[in-house]
Structure 1
Amino acid sequence: MRTTDTVIIGAGQAGLAASRCLTDRGHDHVVLDRGGIGQRWRTCSWDSLHLLTPNWMNGLPGRPYAGPDPDGFAPAAAFTDQLAEYARSFAAPVEEHADVSRLRLRGNDFEVVTGAGTWRARHVVMATGWCDRPAIPALARSLTAHQVTPAEYRNPRSLPPGGVLVVGASATGVQLADELRSAGRDVTIAAGSHTRMERSHLGRDIYWWLARLGVLDRTIDEMPDPVRARREPSPQLAGRVDRIDLTTLQAKGVQLVGRVLAADGHRVRLSPDLPSTIAAADQRWRRLLDRIDAHAGTRSSERTRTTTPARVISELDLRRAGIRTVLWATGHRRSHPWLRIPVLDRHGEIRQHRGRTPAPGLYVLGQRFQHHRSSNFIGGVGRDAAFVADHITGRHAHA
């Protein structure tokens, strides 16, 4: 059995940010990953995926963006290479292919069992991310169509011929619906509650405005409903400069339907509330535009029209519609089958405040709205990592 002061589980941006912060503090630690650095980016991204945030937002501790294209959007594959180079820049003590099978307490220390050996440590940082496994609803078992998740999808050619039903209209759903339609596929998108957001306003990227308004700096303690805040849908954006939302999809020939309620073989029952769902998303978007305009001291005329579904459909016969594939873009859940310490709530989420769990010495990073709204953003995880590193090293023992 090997020993260290701190074990970090996960070598993505959160785990490497924690490693850099502990390295800067001269603190002994190791980073374990089931595969290689940035494993999930490397294996669970479709071919054309670009980061949703512009390059200037994607700095990590000790490594702000300094490239020639601050307003561009990096391909996921390129970002994976950047993570590997980042790890090399400070000689991060990463052990690859060390899949954790058990984390438990042994006296006053933690025991981390992996396929490559066992570690004993005083502290553990769980940095396995927010996008752990696809959240596929139970009703999927009742469908006879071919089914796939975004983690399995690579490009339109990776799907069987025929139409595609994309379930989910957040960032992933609208991007994949757009790509499939551009490839000539007949596409239907089932949309529930969603966050409409255009890529730019008044000549600036929308994230530039959100940063200026302080939206990304809001903490979970300021939110009236923390549970709802952590579950809010990701905005309808793509890593490119043009707009993508239900309006642009409909203009390209994508059929809009309501959220999926039930399924039986090749029949899918749909919610009739799509018009009101779209209207609510449009209203929230207009309120944000009003805030931006007030901050900018101007009144913009940039108000795109409300999407109107061609018709409300209560049931979809996949076979009759020629739909052979259902793509579940319905978000993610967290999975910790190796965790033997009672820190999960009734929903299976890690109980934490600013990264500290109820188990002394056990921390988490990369959770959505962990403390700030940007906590699970690439460029937002750094301040959480610094806080956790300071806590581990005794700099904020009572913070």
Structure 2
Amino acid sequence: MSISIPKKEPLEMPNKTHYSVLIVGGGQAGLSMSACLKERSIDHLIFEKNTIMHSWKTQRWDSFTLVTPNWQCDLPNHPYDGDDPKGFMKRDEIIGYLDRFAEKVKPPVLEGVSVEKITKLENDHYLVVTTQGEFTAGQVVIASGGYLKPIIPRMAERIPETVLQMHSNQYKSSKQLPEGAVLVVGSGQSGAQIAEDLHIDGKKVFLATGNAPRVARQYRGKDVVEWLDDMGYYQKTVDEHPLREGVRDNTNHYVTGRDGGREIDLRKFALEGMELFGLMENYQDGQFIFKPNLSKNLESADDTYKNINARIDSYIEKNGLDAPTEAPYQPVWGPKEERENLDLAASGITSIVWCIGFTPDFSWLDLPIFNGMGAPVHHRGVTKEVGLYFIGLPWLHTWGSGRFSGVALDADYLAGHIQQFGNSLAEKETTHALSEVL
């Protein structure tokens, strides 16, 4: 089933160009921020270059589901409102949940307006240059997310044009693809689930793996997410995590909520005919070239899987909980050899789905707030550039910061910070105005 996005009439531009707060991005993070600012009666405006919740409505495949249980959905004043809290919403259900949230918030938003540049003025206000003119604000919240520019390597340019190539954000279903085999590059959440989707549909799948970890779906009588919640993992802040800010670079564990939820074991796919390889390194002279690390990738994913289960075992034992026991995981398949080459013509590959992630794009943000890797430096979303904030980034504060489960906490915190700073800014401006008069 496809989602049709209704065409909107051109929005009238607001009759003012200065706001207390301007928000860039109309996804769940931007609307959560709007909801919390509305509660505090703080005037604001959202710029959204497409339409609100655009990526959810256009960049998810047909069989997409949440990978965390529905009960974790908890946007501001909008918890999960269905009748299956331990289930996993499908794409259309997720969109319905988000549409109902947007209807509650009724955010002040300009859709179809892109932000081209943000700078700071001498009076400490921010200048926001958009495709619909210039705006100023006392404070700005960047809610555009960290997944903006799809990654497709330059080697893709050398692959014959007869091979259809797409990024995971373009994939909908196997029906898009021509007859023939498919090469899926990347085994993170998207790659593993798209490979499974194609495999279920009867496609011959070649999968180039990476170092993504995996996790069980159910263990000892409960969903692993429920165990981790009981253990306080989702309440742990980035400052408390052993990796500190390094956790923001971690790859998400692959698992699925499809068909009521199950784990993904790439070894099982291999038994069923999917062909697995190590990391894809190059394409030249009609050959795909892979790093000989398939065994290492599979073992590393299994180690994470077993480590999480062991932590659950320790928690159960320490607290004297009554839970069923389970036999330790045993690999069902292993590669007999490491294959480093795959011939394009002989393999019958006619399409490639690149599932190697995204990079952020903050080139339009002309302020000194980035580290040497181009990532924004902040603490809990607050930057050293007074009045500038981020929300919706992975591990902004907790594991749930970039998800439905934790963005409300971040939005409420930032709204309180914004209110406090706004009061002091107003007091400062009033004092300055009085001194000018006197």
Give the TM-score category using the shorter length. Answer: over 0.9
- 2:319 matches 1:303: no
- What residue identity is the alignment partner of 1:273? N
> Of 55, 64, 73, which residue of structure 1 is paired with 2:79?
64
Equivalent residues of 1:142, 1:265 under 8 A apart? no
> Of 254, 270, 273, which residue of structure 1 is paired with 2:293?
273
Equivalent residues of 1:9, 1:128 under 8 A apart? yes
Indicate the SS of the match to 2:78.
coil
* 1:101 alignment partner in structure 2: 116
**Which one is further off, 320-329 or 218-227?**
218-227
In structure 2, what is the Cα distance between the partners aligned to 1:147 and 1:226? 37
The total of aligned residue pairs comes to: 398
CA positional deviation for 1:276: 2.0
- 2:212 matches 1:194: yes
Equivalent residues of 1:37, 1:83 under 8 A apart? no
> Of 299, 314, 325, which residue of structure 1 is paired with 2:351?
325
In structure 1, what is the Cα distance between the partners aligned to 2:421 and 2:327? 48
* 1:315 alignment partner in structure 2: 341
> Of 149, 155, 162, which residue of structure 2 is paired with 1:133?
149
CA positional deviation for 1:231: 1.7
Indicate the SS of the match to 2:169.
coil
CA positional deviation for 1:310: 4.8
Equivalent residues of 1:174, 1:245 under 8 A apart? no
Equivalent residues of 2:26, 2:47 under 8 A apart? yes
Indicate the SS of the match to 2:239.
helix
- 2:90 matches 1:75: yes
- What residue identity is the alignment partner of 1:182? I
In structure 2, what is the Cα distance between the partners aligned to 1:300 and 1:36? 48
**Which one is further off, 295-304 or 141-150?**
295-304
* 2:48 alignment partner in structure 1: 33
Alignment deviations for residues 237-268 of structure 1 (CA, whole Å, 9 cap, x no partner): 11231222212322332111100122215312
* 1:258 alignment partner in structure 2: 278
In structure 2, what is the Cα distance between the partners aligned to 1:272 and 1:318? 18
What value does the CA root-mean-square deviation take over the aligned residues?
2.0
> Of 401, 411, 424, which residue of structure 2 is paired with 1:375?
401
In structure 2, what is the Cα distance between the partners aligned to 1:322 and 1:46? 24
- What residue identity is the alignment partner of 1:219? T
Equivalent residues of 1:219, 1:372 under 8 A apart? yes
> Of 293, 302, 306, which residue of structure 2 is paired with 1:282?
302
CA positional deviation for 1:141: 2.9
Indicate the SS of the match to 1:77.
helix
- What residue identity is the alignment partner of 1:75? K
- 2:133 matches 1:117: yes
In structure 2, what is the Cα distance between the partners aligned to 1:352 and 1:36? 28
In structure 1, what is the Cα distance between the partners aligned to 2:288 and 2:32? 44
The TM-score with structure 1 as length reference comes to 0.94
**Which one is further off, 225-234 or 191-200?**
225-234
**Which one is further off, 354-363 or 102-111?**
102-111
CA positional deviation for 1:64: 1.7
* 1:389 alignment partner in structure 2: 415
> Of 260, 264, 269, which residue of structure 2 is paired with 1:249?
269
- For structure 1, the residue ranges without an aligned partner over 5 or more in a row are none
- 2:36 matches 1:21: yes
Indicate the SS of the match to 1:140.
helix
Equivalent residues of 1:293, 1:300 under 8 A apart? no
> Of 362, 366, 369, which residue of structure 2 is paired with 1:343?
369
Equivalent residues of 1:293, 1:299 under 8 A apart? no
- Percent identical residues: 32
Equivalent residues of 1:169, 1:191 under 8 A apart? yes
Residues 220, 43 of structure 1: alpha-carbon distance in 2 compared, 3 angstrom cutoff: same
Alignment of 1:33-52 (within 5 A): 33-52=48-67
* 2:223 alignment partner in structure 1: 205
In structure 2, what is the Cα distance between the partners aligned to 1:69 and 1:235? 23
The TM-score with structure 2 as length reference comes to 0.86
* 1:183 alignment partner in structure 2: 201
Larger Rg: 2
In structure 2, what is the Cα distance between the partners aligned to 1:236 and 1:368? 16
Equivalent residues of 1:391, 1:397 under 8 A apart? no
- 2:22 matches 1:7: yes
In structure 1, what is the Cα distance between the partners aligned to 2:225 and 2:327? 17
Indicate the SS of the match to 1:378.
coil
- For structure 2, the residue ranges without an aligned partner over 5 or more in a row are 1-15, 318-322, 425-438
**Which one is further off, 137-146 or 355-364?**
137-146
CA positional deviation for 1:397: 10
- What residue identity is the alignment partner of 2:255? L
Equivalent residues of 1:177, 1:249 under 8 A apart? no
Equivalent residues of 1:41, 1:77 under 8 A apart? no
Residues 77, 339 of structure 1: alpha-carbon distance in 2 compared, 3 angstrom cutoff: farther
Equivalent residues of 1:37, 1:80 under 8 A apart? no
In structure 2, what is the Cα distance between the partners aligned to 1:310 and 1:330? 26
CA positional deviation for 1:85: 2.1
Indicate the SS of the match to 1:123.
strand
- What residue identity is the alignment partner of 2:166? V
* 1:235 alignment partner in structure 2: 253
CA positional deviation for 1:135: 2.2
CA positional deviation for 1:35: 1.4
In structure 2, what is the Cα distance between the partners aligned to 1:123 and 1:396? 8
In structure 1, what is the Cα distance between the partners aligned to 2:304 and 2:253? 12
In structure 1, what is the Cα distance between the partners aligned to 2:62 and 2:370? 34
In structure 1, what is the Cα distance between the partners aligned to 2:18 and 2:311? 52
Equivalent residues of 2:287, 2:343 under 8 A apart? yes
